[in-house]
Structure formats: C-alpha cells, structure tokens
Amino acid sequence: MSLSNPVITITNMLDLLLAPVLTGIFVALMAGPLGCFVVWRRLAYFGDALAHAALLGVALGLILSVSPQLAIVMSCVVLALLLSQVRQDSQLSADTWLGVLSHGSLAISIIAITVAGAGRVDLYGYLFGDLLAATYRDVILLGFCGLILAAYLIRYWDSLVCLCLNEDLAKVEGIAVERHKVILMIAIAFVTAMAMKLVGALLITALMIIPAASARMLSNGPGRMAVLAMSAALLALGAGMLASFHWDVPTGPSIVTAACLVFMFGKISAKVLSQK
C-alpha cells in the first residue's frame, strides 16, 4: 500500500463531511436563539405544523418539477404567513388554527405524494434527515441567511424580548409588534425548512426547543439564554454526528438524542445549583 493512500482517504473524507458539518453548525447557530423565541412565545406546536408543511413542499416540488428545497422553504413560509394572519381571529385560538393547518397540510401532502409517485420520494431521508445530502450551496445559503438573521437579532433584540414578555407594553413603547411577529415566524419557518435536511421532518421541532429549554434552566437573562441555547445546539450536533459515524446510526435521531442528554444534564445541574 502506497503512503499516499491515507492522505487521499483523509482528503476524500474532508470533501465528504465538510459541507454537512458546516451546514449543521449554521443550523445550530440559528436554531439556538430562534428556539428561545419559540419557547418564550409558546410556539412549540408551530414547529410540528411547519414539519407537515415541509412534507407538502416535497410533494409540490415533485408535482411542479421544481427544486424540492425551494418548494419546502416556500411551503413553510406560506404557512407562517397564513398563521400570522389567522392568529388574529378572535373566535378560534392559535392552538386550534395550528391543529387545522398542521393536519390539513399533512393530509394534503400524503395525497400529493401518492399522486406524484411515492417511489420518486426518499421519504426516509425527509422524515429522519440525511445530513450527508448537504451541499456547499446549502452552506452558502445558510451562511448568508445566518448573517442577515444575526444582524436583525442584534439590532432589534431588546424590542423582540419586550414583545415576548408583553405585547401591550411593546405597543406602548412604539415597537412594530405585528411586523416583528411576522419576521420572526418567517425566520423560524426558513430555519425549520433548512433543518429538515439535518434531522428530518419528524424531529425538526426538537432541534429548536430542546437546546432552548436546556438553556432556560441555567440562565438568568434572555441574552445568556440565547448564548447557552446556541452552545447546547452545537454540543448536541457534535455529539450526535460523532455517535452517528461511530455506531453507524441515523444522524438526525442521534443529534436529537444528544440534545435530550444535554437537557437532562442541564436539569440536574440546575437542581444542584439551586440547592447551594
């Protein structure tokens, strides 16, 4: 065996894994702070609705012969915009609308996938994630959108936190409440659509909620919680990917399992610290 073979193997591995790793890092960095807003505004079920809309996007992409990724993003954004409008309905609660839109989009997606031909769809990849399918195009797109999101959050952080604490107070302070609510929901929808490639439709919500929930138990302020949520998401990403490659198990479930372990560690740590 020539000495160059190990070098070639390492180079090939880097080429194979660099895009997935960078994709995962960008998703984790965006999911951390956005997950805090999901927790603060009690939008956990919104993630499930977006997951169902993402499946509808897969089906529509096949039927219309357009990029599935583009169709997924558009479906999630449309659902977010629709929900931001119907939440103002005084007759039905937000949870009711979430249930209607979530299960309605799931039912339509199943019908559409059947019509398009289930054999043409990698349902396992969409349901449970396929991180190795990430490309450098995804990295560039996520990096660009991550910079925009970071600039927006830094610029309007205080306003967004005030909005989450008390909408009436935010309106009195002159904050454009409805505009920020729509922007937040669109941002959550976009990250959810992109994270589908990482952990799959069934586990998308966990990537946002669990790191944020872990951070909440150990933080004493919104800013600290956002930083800890990003750290928890990155830790879960790294541990999950290592476990996936070491034991040859699915990456998405491994990442979410690692996030659950981080949550348990955070819960135990918070309890120990509270007793001091």
- Give the tens place of pLDDT for each residue, 34-87: 999 999 988 878 888 888 888 888 888 888 888 888 898 899 999 988 888 776
Residue 2 has pLDDT above 60, yes or no: no
- In this model, does residue 241 exceed pLDDT 80? yes
Tens of pLDDT, residue by residue over 120-154, are: 677 777 778 877 778 888 899 989 999 999 999 99
SS3 string, the chain, reads CCCHHHHHHHHHHHHHHHHHHHHHHHHHHHHHHHHHHHHHCCCHHHHHHHHHHHHHHHHHHHHHCCCHHHHHHHHHHHHHHHHHHHCCCCCCCHHHHHHHHHHHHHHHHHHHHHHHCHHHCCHHHHHHCCHHHCCHHHHHHHHHHHHHHHHHHHHHHHHHHHHHHCHHHHHHCCCCHHHHHHHHHHHHHHHHHHHHHHHCHHHHHHHHHHHHHHHHHHCCCHHHHHHHHHHHHHHHHHHHHHHHHHHCCCHHHHHHHHHHHHHHHHHHHHHHHHCC
Buried b / exposed e over 217-239, threshold 16 CB at 10 Å, is bbbeebeebbbbbbbbbbbbbbb
Domain boundaries, the chain: 4-274
Residue 33 pLDDT greater than 90, yes or no? yes
What's the whole-model pTM score? 0.88
Lowest mean pLDDT among 74-78, 110-114, 222-226: 110-114
Query: For domain 4-274, which architecture applies?
Result: Orthogonal Bundle (1.10)
